[in-house]
Structure 1
Amino acid sequence: MIRAVIFDLDGTLLDRDSSVRSFIEQQYERLKPNLSHILKENYVQRFIELDNRGYVWKDKVYQQLSEEFSIELSPKVMLEDYLREFKHYCVPFVNLHSMLHNLKKLGLKLGLITNGYGQFQLDNIRALKVEDNFDVILISEWEGIKKPNAEIFHRALSKLGVSANESMYIGDHPFNDVEAAKKVGNKPSFLHLPPINYTLPV
C-alpha cells in the first residue's frame, strides 16, 4: 500500500524549460545596455544550450557567455542577477496545486528531494507556493549529499516514517530519479509530460 509520494522539483513540479526561457528573455532586457551588441534570441538560445537543463552551474554558463559574446559586464554580476531574479519566473506545471491537494486528501505523506543550492531551490519552491504541501523537503546542498546517492532517498523515507515499498518516487531524470529510486526500492514513475494526473496504486 502506498503511504507516501516523493517528488523531484525541476522538470517535475517546476516547468523548468518555460521558467528558464522566461527568465533569460527578461534578463536580456534588464541588462540590455551591456548586451545590445548581441541578438536577443542568440543570447537566449546560447544560455539554454550551455545550461544543459540545469546540469551546468551558472557561474560556468555566464563565464562562457561572457567569453563568446565579449560581454563587458562581469559573469559575477550576471550570476547575481540569476540568483536574485530567477524565483520571479518560476512556472508550475498545469494542475500542480490541485494534484498535490488531492494527494493530501487521500491521506498520503508528501516529500520532495531536489539537487541544487539550498536557498536558491527553497526560493523556487516557495515561488511555486507548494512548500506547505510537503511533510519533508530535502535539498542536496543542505543535506551534504545528492541524487542519485541512495542515502538521500533513505533519509527522506526515514523522515516520512515509511518504507521504500510503501512509497512512490516521481521524477524526470532516467538515472538520478528513476534508476536511483529503483535501487532504493521505491516505485518510480518517469515523467515525459507535465504531472497532470497520477494514478497511484493504493
Structure 2
Amino acid sequence: MIFFDIDGTLLDHEEAEKMAAIDFYKAFGQELEYSEAEFGEIWYNLSIKYFEKFLTKELSFQDQRRMRMKDMFGHQLSNEHADSKFKSYLNLYKRNWGPYDDVITCLEQLKQLGHRLGIISNGDYKQQLEKLVSLGIHNFFDCIFTSSEIGVSKPNLIIFQKACKEANVQVHKSYYIGDRLETDALGSKEAGMIGIWLNRKNNATHQDIKVIHNLEELVPILN
C-alpha cells in the first residue's frame, strides 16, 4: 500500500498560506505595527510554533489558532475576537488551496496500476479531509489517518504502524511519501515502512532514503 502526506506533498500548503497571509494583512494590517513583509515572517513562525504545541497536546486545535491571533494582535484580544479573526484567515487560506501540478496524474496512474492508496497526516481529521475533498482527490484514498484520531503525531513510529494495522497491510511492504525528511521519510522508515522523501525544493539527496523531486518520478520507482 502507498501512503501519502498531505501538506507540502499533495497540497501546496506553503503557497496557500503565503497568499492567505498577504490577503489577511490587507484586511487587518491597519491594526498592526508590522510591515507586510514582517507580518508574513511572523505569521509563518507563529504557525509553526503553535501547531507544534497542538501536536504535542499542549494546546487543543482551537486554542492553537487563538494563540496565533493573540500573539499577533495582543493578548487583550478576547477568545471570540481571536476566533473571528482566525476564521477570516481560514477562509482566505481555503480559497488558495490547490494541488501541485503532478498530483492528479500520479494518483490516476497508481490507481490504474492497482495500488491501494492511503493518507497519514499530522493535523485535525476534519480539516485534512476537507483539504482532500477541496482538491478533488479524496476518492483516490481507501483510508485516511490523522494524528488527531491516532493520538500521536509523526515522526512517532506508532502513527505509521497503527495506520498499517488499521488498513490491514504489512508495514514492511508499505510505502510512505512525504515532503519532510525527518518527519515523513525517516519517521516512516523507523516504523518499518519504505520511506520516500519528496524533496520539491532542491536537489539534495540522502544516503539512507530514496529521494524524488516530483511525483512524476514515483511510478517508475514503484514498478
TM above 0.5, yes or no, is yes
| TM-score, normalised via structure 1 length | 0.83
- Tell me which residue corresponds to 1:196: 215
Aligned length: 197
> 1:24 Cα deviation (Å)?
1.2
- Tell me which residue corresponds to 1:8: 5
Matches within 5 A, 1:44-83: 44-52=40-48, 55=52, 57-67=64-74, 74-83=81-90
2:16 is the counterpart of 1:24: no
Question: Any conservation in 1 of the 2:65–2:83 contact (CA below 8 Å)?
Answer: no
- Tell me which residue corresponds to 1:120: 127
Matches within 5 A, 1:142-181: 142-181=149-188
Distance change >3 Å, CA 147–CA 158, structure 1 → 2: same
Amino acid paired to 1:105: Q
Deviates more, 1:10-19 or 1:174-183: 174-183
Q: Distance in 1 between matches of 2:15 and 2:41?
A: 13
> 1:49 Cα deviation (Å)?
3.0
Amino acid paired to 2:36: K
State the SS of the aligned residue for 1:162.
Answer: coil
- Where structure 2 has 5 or more consecutive residues not aligned to the other structure, the ranges are 54-63, 201-212
| TM-score, normalised via structure 2 length | 0.76
Amino acid paired to 1:201: L
Q: Distance in 1 between matches of 2:187 and 2:153?
A: 11
Q: CA RMSD in A?
A: 2.7
- Where structure 1 has 5 or more consecutive residues not aligned to the other structure, the ranges are none
Question: Any conservation in 2 of the 1:14–1:91 contact (CA below 8 Å)?
Answer: yes
> 1:85 Cα deviation (Å)?
4.2
Q: Distance in 2 between matches of 1:141 and 1:87?
A: 20
- Tell me which residue corresponds to 2:36: 40
Matches within 5 A, 1:102-113: 102-113=109-120
Q: Deviations over 1:84-126 (max 9, x none)?
A: 4422211211221111111111100001011112222222222
Deviates more, 1:90-99 or 1:53-62: 53-62
> 1:8 Cα deviation (Å)?
0.8
Q: Distance in 1 between matches of 2:178 and 2:111?
A: 19
- Tell me which residue corresponds to 2:136: 129
